[in-house]
Amino acid sequence: MALYPLSYRTKGRDIGVFSNPSGRLSNVRQATGPDRRPNTATQFFGKPNSYIEFPNNGKLDTKRSITLLAWIYNQGSAGPIFNYMPNGWGVHFWMTSPITLFVRFTRRRRRRFTPHLQYRGVKRRRWQYVGATFNGRTGVAKLYLNSRMVARKRIGRFRLATNYPVRMGARVGDSRFFRGKISCMQVYGMALNSRQIAARKRRCFLKGKS
**Position 96 in a domain:** yes
**Position 154 in a domain:** yes
Summarize the confidence of residues 122-133 as an average pLDDT. 97
Averaged confidence pLDDT in the chain: 96
User: Which band of pLDDT confidence, cut at 50, 70 and 90, is reported for residue 20?
Assistant: very high
pLDDT for position 207? 75
pLDDT for position 210? 44
Summarize the confidence of residues 125-138 as an average pLDDT. 98
Whole-structure pTM value: 0.96
User: What is the spatial distance between Cα 175 and Cα 119, in angstroms, rounded to a whole number?
Assistant: 22
Q: H or E element: which one contains 177?
A: none
**Phi, psi dihedral angles at 104 (to 5 degrees):** -135, 125
pLDDT for position 34? 97
Q: H or E element: which one contains 197?
A: helix 194-199
Count Cβ atoms below 10 Å from residue 208 Cβ, excluding itself: 7
**Position 205 in a domain:** no
pLDDT for position 137? 97
- What CATH number is given to the structural domain containing 12? 2.60.120.200
- Please report, for the chain, how many H helices and E strands are present, in that order: 1, 15
pLDDT for position 208? 59
User: What is the spatial distance between Cα 174 and Cα 187, in angstroms, rounded to a whole number?
Assistant: 24
Has residue 209 got a pLDDT over 90?
no
Q: State the residue range of the domain holding 30.
A: 2-194
**Position 199 in a domain:** no
Picking from 180, 51, 200, the residue whose alpha carbon sits closest to that of residue 129 is 200
Q: Is 67 helix (H, G, I), strand (E, B) or coil?
A: strand
Has residue 87 got a pLDDT over 70?
yes
Cβ contact 161:90 at 8 Å? yes
pLDDT in tens, 138-171: 999 999 999 999 999 999 999 999 999 999 999 9
Q: Is 119 helix (H, G, I), strand (E, B) or coil?
A: strand
**Position 159 in a domain:** yes
Q: Give the amino acid at 88.
A: G
User: What is the spatial distance between Cα 87 and Cα 27, in angstroms, rounded to a whole number?
Assistant: 18
- The three-point CA angle 22-66-76 to 5° equals 65
**Position 206 in a domain:** no
**Position 113 in a domain:** yes
**Position 45 in a domain:** yes
Structural domain tally of the chain?
Answer: 1
Q: H or E element: which one contains 48?
A: none
